[in-house]
Chains A and B, each alone.
Chain A
Amino acid sequence: MARFIIRSLISTAITLLIVSIALFLLLEVGSGDITLKILGVFSTPEQRASYRNQLGLDAPVYLRYVDWLIGNEWRAERNVGYDLVTVPNPQTGEDEWWADVNGQLTRWSLEDGELFALTRQEDGSTIASPADVTWAVGENGQESFWGVDDKNNAVKWVRGEGAEVWVLTKAGLRKEGDGPQDYIPLRKGLIKGDAGKSLQYGRPVSLTLWPRVRNTLILAGAAFLVVMPIALVLGIIAGINEGRPIDRFISVTSLGATATPEFVTGIFLIMIFGIWLKWLPAVAIFTSPDAIFENPLLLALPVLTLTAVELGYVIRMTRASMVEVMGSPYIRTAILKGMPYWRVVVRHAVRNALMAPITIIMLHVNWLIGGVVVVETIFGYPGLGKYIFDAAIFGDVNAVEAAAMLTVTIAVLTRILGDLAYTFLNPRIRYA
């Protein structure tokens, strides 16, 4: 058993590694010039080149992949020469990078060719003083210095040669002198929970992602709680009445429910309950981040849609498994020896029949996530699905990568759980 768990964990790790490489290559390399999307089509090649440098996109692909996955402070530390640490900003709560210069958290900035050291005080404010640093002399006599700037980059300044850089501010692009020559945007890496900055919101992806994940968990959890009992009961009823009209009815209806796209189901539910009957709100408008707790009715239609879609699948699974069990010799024996029919069904058949559906449902999480994307888009529900969708539309690679990795991880982990559940439920299976 332990060997099986270890083996499946290793296999999962390899799977996730392949997924991360594929995702990264597809998005970072496949999507072309990201700066064009951020700066707009009217930006000049010069502006885009400057911005590419600031985002660290000039580095080779493999290096960017490593940066993305495991961070790059180890790489930047070799240049800077000090330990790089993160401290949360007291106002925004977002992590900031500082260099640890003999216990004093420091950043630098270049003003009018003069380098200033900004030292961090206890309350988060900084004190600027002329920097006392040693400039490294390059081969061509250039004096350069690697430090940390106030935008969380490790940067290379050259003495007396402030580069002109285009800085993206809320008001648009601005040209600034005294800029660094080279950038390494500091990040901790995906495995340490830092997925970089969302190109769409300009804030760290992890901060914008978690509230969405919570909303989706509530939605999916509610749907799950509604689906399971109904689906299992209907599936068992259909299974013990195989071939009778009630089975035909349940089977065909559930086939219809699975084969109907989520958005069609959603639209029809909106029309029936939102427009004609006016019982439920047709869209989920969040007036505050906690709107679903204040008005749980917002959840009703999204949950109902997910339920309608998932119900059919689970019913079909349960029915097939029940039919198989009811045809097995030990059920025939139980009936032949004169046990009451219901007792045979409840005591002997159901227990064995539920094994397959319960594990298959775990494997089905992939599908549920797909349903969630569509359902959240229909109802405007701010969850993980809508997050991925919006990010993909915008071309927000960092956000898409992080959210996709998250969904894949969830899917893979639930698959292992499903395998394990199956072993525990079915004593006949032993993994070598």
Chain B
Amino acid sequence: MKMYWSDKACFVIRSKVKVNFDAPDLVLSQENDMAVAQPTAGAVPVQGPSRWAKIWKSLSIVFESRIATVGLGLVLFWVLLGLISLVWTPYPPNASDFVQNLPPNSTNWLGTDHLGRDVLSRLMVGTQVILLKTRLPWGGLIFPIGVAIWGVIGSVLVGSFLGLNAGYRGGWWDQVTMQFLDALIAFPVIVLYLVVIAALGQGDLVVILAITVTGAPGVARLVRSLALDIKTRDYIRAAETRGESPWYIMFVEILPNARGPLLVDSMLRVGYAIFAIGTLGFLGIGLPPPDPDWGNMVNEARKNIFSNQWAVIWPSLAIASLVIGLNLFADGLREELTRYQK
């Protein structure tokens, strides 16, 4: 039993974007105590289906909702373009090889921008900084997984830690944490970004930090409410009776049982993060050059908006479609999950 849950805990941390719910009744439910109290009833692998069948079963929940499927399709489209751009782009993304401000044509499928750079190549490379890589300030080091996702991982880690402590321990911990989080939530998000960037300057790590700081309070509140609910269950009492430490109970007993809503929430948060990165890029204070950044592409192209509208349209559509895709995915997923609850 213990092994099983710790295994799950790692599983949750490892898979941030892909959703794997092996069995629908694992989802936290408010109406049905049994579902959470005996979550392993259908999933303990005694003679159960094979690993792949289980993974497929958990993935198939996505395809039951048309909205989620459309969302996943949009997201995968951009991930795929980003992966392709790692090895191939039509032209070098930063080279001014063409006439400026061309409309779409047969050489430059999406046209060129105000410096004569190919918009399609830049658009493709633009996915990298958001989803696929993080540039560290030390000697041009590059780290896998993009800024948006690291930011969300950061806020989930910090938020879960604060929320679990507040919810499970209660009392003094709860008071202090919630007061602190109230203060953070009181900040309009964009103002908090501006303040962080005014204080710390630009850079991939600063953007990750800004996303973490703005996202953590929301995650903490969610985890706290889930923890308050879960800690009344019998298996928590059992663990307390066994003499497990509070940390064990929080991270091994409570957190894995809160993962359903937490995953849907983090999916939405990736959307917000991309939204925020786009906005910061548009304001000219987002991810630094040389890599193209969608928001910044819109910002630069809008100065020539009267002569060339195409260069503005493409990156705008890119951001909007990726964010909408993530939102649809999370929304559809939530709908399916709550359907199981009923």
Contacts and interface: CB of A to CB of B under 8 A. Distances in A.
A264 B298 contact: yes
Given A18-B180, A19-B183, A374-B282, A264 B319 contact: yes
A319 B130 CA distance: 33
B271 interface: yes
B41 interface: no
B179 A392 contact: no
Contacts of A30: 199-200
A400 interface: yes
Binding site secondary structure of chain A = helix
Contact of B327 (A15, A255, A373): A255
A409 to B, nearest CB: 9
Interface stretch (B10-18, B113-121, B189-197): B189-197
B190 A373 contact: yes
Contact of A18 (B179, B189, B275, B331): B179
Contacts of A23: 195
B327 A11 contact: no
B82 interface: no
A369 B190 contact: yes
Interface in A247-288: 255-256, 258-264, 267-268, 270-271, 275, 282
A395 B197 CA distance: 10
A260 B324 CA distance: 7
Interface residues of A, number: 50
Interface in A331-356: none
A26 B199 contact: yes
Contact of B312 (A19, A262, A267): A267
Nearest to B70: A252
A14 B181 CA distance: 12
A261 B331 contact: no
Contacts of B189: 366-367, 370
Contacts of A282: 305
B323 interface: yes
A389 interface: yes
Interface string A33-73: 00000000000000000000000000000000000000000
Contact of B305 (A259, A261, A275): A275
A398 to B, nearest CB: 12
B99 interface: no
Given A271-B305, A374-B190, A411-B188, A263 B282 contact: yes
Contact of A27 (B183, B198, B326): B198
A408 interface: yes
A255 to B, nearest CB: 6
B199 A31 contact: yes
Contact of A259 (B284, B285, B317, B324): B324
Interface in A351-396: 366-367, 369-370, 373-374, 377-378, 388-389, 391-393, 395
Interface string A206-241: 000000000000000000000000000000000000
Contact of B283 (A256, A366, A389, A395): A389
A241 B302 CA distance: 40
Given A31-B198, A267-B302, A11 B309 contact: no
B1 to A, nearest CB: 38
A423 interface: no
Nearest to A276: B309
A367 B279 CA distance: 13
Contact of A255 (B200, B283, B328): B328
A8 B14 CA distance: 40
Contacts of B143: none
Contacts of A275: 305-306, 309
B186 A374 contact: no
B183 A259 contact: no
Contact of B323 (A16, A260, A270, A389): A260
Contacts of A412: 186
A374 B276 CA distance: 11
Contact of B187 (A19, A270, A391, A395): A19
A18 B185 CA distance: 12
A261 B279 contact: yes
Contacts of A31: 198-200
A367 B179 contact: no
B256 interface: no
A395 B194 CA distance: 10
A267 B186 contact: no
A204 to B, nearest CB: 20
Interface string B174-185: 000001101101
A85 interface: no
B53 interface: no
B324 A370 contact: no
Contacts of A403: 191
A369 B188 contact: yes
B278 interface: yes
A6 B188 CA distance: 24
B220 to A, nearest CB: 15
B166 to A, nearest CB: 15
B295 interface: yes
B58 interface: no
A275 B307 CA distance: 10
Given A255-B324, A263-B298, A370-B188, A270 B195 contact: no
A407 interface: yes
A351 to B, nearest CB: 26
B100 interface: no
Contacts of B196: 26
B84 interface: no
Top 3 A-B residue pairs of the complex, sorted by shortest distance between their CB atoms? A30-B199, A370-B190, A18-B183
Given A261-B323, A392-B197, A392-B198, 13 more contacts: A30-B200, A261-B278, A264-B298, A267-B305, A270-B305, A271-B305, A369-B191, A370-B188, A374-B190, A374-B279, A393-B284, A404-B195, A407-B188
9 contacts: A18-B179, A18-B183, A26-B196, A30-B200, A271-B313, A367-B188, A369-B190, A370-B189, A373-B283
